[in-house]
Amino acid sequence: MTNAAESMGERLIGALTGALELCTVEIGCKLGLYAAVRDGANTAAELAKAAEIDERYAQEWLEQQAAAGFLTATFELTPGTAAVLLDEGGPAYAAPAAEFAVGVGLLTPTVIEAFRTGAGVPYSSYEHLRHGIGGFNRPMFNHLLTTEWLPAVSSIDQRLQAVPGARVLDLGCGMGYSSVAMALAYPSITVRGVDLDEHSIGEARRVAAEAGVADRVSFTSADAAAASGSYDLVTIFEALHDMGDPVGVLRNARELLSPSGSVFIGDERVSDTFIAPAGEIERLQYAFSVLHCLPATRAENPVLANGTILRAPTLLGWAREAGFEQPEVLDIPNDFWRFYHLR
Spatial CB neighbours of 88, under 8 Å, sequence gap ≥ 6: 95
Contact (Cβ atoms closer than 8 angstroms) between residue 23 and residue 101 = yes
| Residue 173 contacts ligand SAM per CB under 6 A | yes
| Residue 197 contacts ligand SAM per CB under 6 A | yes
Binding piece for ligand SAM, criterion CB under 6 A, among 3-11, 41-49, 188-196, 310-318? 188-196
d(CA 315, CA 321): 10
| Residue 239 contacts ligand SAM per CB under 6 A | yes
* Binding map of ligand SAM across residues 42-81, x = CB under 6 A, - = no contact: ----------------------------------------
**Phi, psi angle pair for 75, to nearest 5°:** 60, 45
| Residue 200 contacts ligand SAM per CB under 6 A | yes
d(CA 329, CA 246): 17
| Residue 328 contacts ligand SAM per CB under 6 A | no
| Residue 208 contacts ligand SAM per CB under 6 A | no
Position closest to ligand SAM via CB: 174
Among 174, 261, 295, 327, which residue interacts with ligand SAM (rule: CB under 6 A)? 174
The DSSP H or E segment spanning 339 is: strand 337-342
Of the pair 194, 270, the CB lying nearest ligand SAM is at 194
Contact (Cβ atoms closer than 8 angstroms) between residue 145 and residue 156 = no
Contact (Cβ atoms closer than 8 angstroms) between residue 262 and residue 155 = yes
Of the pair 172, 307, the CB lying nearest ligand SAM is at 172
Per CB under 6 A, which of residues 119..148 are in contact with ligand SAM?
123, 133-134, 137
| Residue 295 contacts ligand SAM per CB under 6 A | no
What DSSP string runs through 134-172? HHHHHHHIIIIIIIIIGGGSHHHHHHHHSSSPPEEEEET
> Cβ 248 to ligand SAM, closest distance in Å?
9
| Residue 237 contacts ligand SAM per CB under 6 A | yes
Q: Which of 101, 20, 27 is nearest to 62 (CA)?
A: 27
Of the pair 190, 297, the CB lying nearest ligand SAM is at 297
Per CB under 6 A, which of residues 25..44 are in contact with ligand SAM?
none
136 sits in the region (left: phi over 0; alpha: psi -120 to 50; else beta) called alpha
Contact (Cβ atoms closer than 8 angstroms) between residue 250 and residue 317 = no
Residues forming contacts to ligand SAM in the complex (CB under 6 A) are: 123, 133-134, 137, 172-174, 177-178, 194-197, 200, 223-224, 237-239, 242-244, 300
